[in-house]
Amino acid sequence: MKHEYADRIGKVIAYIEENSSRKLDLDALAGVSNFSKYHFSRIFAAVTGVTPAAYVTRKRLENAVRLLKDTDRTVLDIAHSCGFESLSTFNGVFKRRHGKSPSELRRELQDRNFSLGDRKKREEPSSSHEYDESAGNVNHFLRRIWSMNVTLKELPDLEVAFVRHTGSYLETGRAWETLGSWAGRNGLTPERQQFIGISLDDPSLVDEFACRYDACVTLPPDFEREGHTGVSFKKLEGGSYGRYAFYDTVDKLALAYANLYGNWLSGSGYEADDRYALEFCMNDPFRDPEGKAKVDLYIPVRPKDELIPL
Tens of pLDDT along 42-91?
A: 888 888 888 888 889 989 999 999 899 888 899 999 999 999 988 888 98
Contact 67/81 with Cβ under 8 angstroms?
Answer: yes
E strand or H helix at 162, and its extent? strand 158-166
The angle that helices 26-33 and 2-19 make with each other, rounded to 10 degrees, is 140
pLDDT of residue 237: 93
Tens digits of residue pLDDT in 121-162: 444 444 444 434 444 444 554 555 556 789 999 999 999 999
Closest CA to 301 of 256, 258, 266, 263: 266
Average pLDDT of 272-295? Answer: 91
Average pLDDT of 177-201? Answer: 94
Closest CA to 91 of 110, 115, 108, 74: 74
Reply yes or no on whether the pLDDT at 116 is more than 80. no
pLDDT of residue 166: 92
CA 156/CA 221 separation, integer angstroms: 13
Q: Give residue 204's pLDDT band: very low, low, confident or very high (50, 70, 90).
A: low
pLDDT of residue 156: 96
pLDDT of residue 183: 96
Q: Write the DSSP assignment of 12-81 as a string of letters.
A: HHHHHHHHTTS---HHHHHHHHTS-HHHHHHHHHHHHSS-HHHHHHHHHHHHHHHHHHH----HHHHHHH
CA dihedral over 290, 291, 294, 299, signed as positive or negative = negative
Q: Residue 240: is it exposed, middle or buried by C-beta count within 10 angstroms (0-12/13-18/19+)?
A: middle
Tens digits of residue pLDDT in 207-262: 777 889 999 999 999 999 999 999 999 999 999 999 999 999 988 888 888 888 87
